[in-house]
Amino acid sequence: MASQGTVECEKIVDKCVLCRKVDGKSYQAPISPPLPEFKVQRNQPFSLVAVDFAGFLYVKTSSGNEKGMVKTWISLYSLYTCCSTRVVHLDLVPNMSNEAFIPNFRRFVARRGKPCM
């Protein structure tokens, strides 16, 4: 059984901020959950792809005939994201129709390769 003096000393040490920092436990990071299977496998970039549209960009081109003449139009862009490496591929699209997306996707496949299904 501890004496009254020992109990008082323990109370003082427990309240001491410096003693808590010196004697305290260090932070333990939580165990991270297992990664999804497709992120663990070695794949080529853009073999697993997510596609999204984002907008609107003001695209400017200067005409060669007159100085200062600038043609401006609004365009969307398609955003291809690799699911395993998080690499991003951006490409301009005139609108969000199927007729505009299919040539855009063909351009992507020609440049980056066909994604797996």
| Residue of 81, 99, 83 whose CA lies nearest to 91 | 81
3-state helix, strand, coil in the chain (%, to 5): 30, 30, 40
pTM here?
Answer: 0.56
87 Cβ contact partners less than 8 Å away, ≥ 6 residues apart: 45, 46, 81
Task: Give me 88's structure tokens.
Answer: 């991003």
User: Given pLDDT bands bounded at 50, 70 and 90, which one contains residue 68?
Assistant: low
Q: At residue 31, what is the residue type?
A: I
Report domain extents, the chain: 37-112
95 Cβ contact partners less than 8 Å away, ≥ 6 residues apart: 76
| Residue of 88, 84, 82, 81 whose CA lies nearest to 38 | 84
The pLDDT tens digits for 13-28 are: 788 888 777 877 888 8
What is the pLDDT of the chain when averaged over all its residues? 81
